[in-house]
Amino acid sequence: MDARITKEETALLLNLAPSRTARDVEAIRLAALRARDEAIGRALARGVAALYRGIRAALRFLVTYPSRRAVFDQLNAMSDRELADIGLERADLARVFDEDFALAHAARQGDAARAAATAPANATPANSNLSPGVKAAA
């Protein structure tokens, strides 16, 4: 008989059950892998959503471009006086289609409308060509 022990016999003699520490380490490793996979999934989902929004915005721009260009050309053909009548200046034309500009312009128009509504009846507008004593025909 041979006194040496083979690897297979050694494995049978050793306690093969993992220790509590090894189980804890493995659980932590698996939790870290799951967290990493979830983070990668969320990042991919955000990237795909951003790409979709970008493509949608580009298509919307291309579809609405002809009508926006026509409006811009019409506004650009107006005189400074006509632009002032609708509350615009020539410098505003480049920003007419910006949402921020539209909100700010609407707020200014609302302020002007409130000021006109609260103005005294005998006050004359600053841009009026009438003399203060003459009333405009209604």
Burial 84-122 (b: 16+ CB within 10 A, else e): eeeebeeeeeeeeeeeeeeeebeeeeeeeeeeeeeeeee
At position 43, the amino acid (one-letter code) is A
Pairwise CA distance, residues 67 & 107, whole Å: 25
Q: Would you kindly state where each structural domain of the chain is located, as residue ranges?
A: 23-63, 78-118
Q: What is the pLDDT of residue 100?
A: 84
Q: What is the pLDDT of residue 38?
A: 97
Q: pTM for the complete prediction? A: 0.48
Contacts of 100 (CB under 8 A, 6+ apart): none
Pairwise CA distance, residues 82 & 88, whole Å: 9
pLDDT in tens, the chain (138 residues): 566 777 777 767 776 667 788 889 999 999 999 999 999 999 999 999 999 999 999 999 999 999 999 999 999 999 999 998 988 888 888 888 888 887 887 787 776 666 555 555 555 555 555 555 555 444
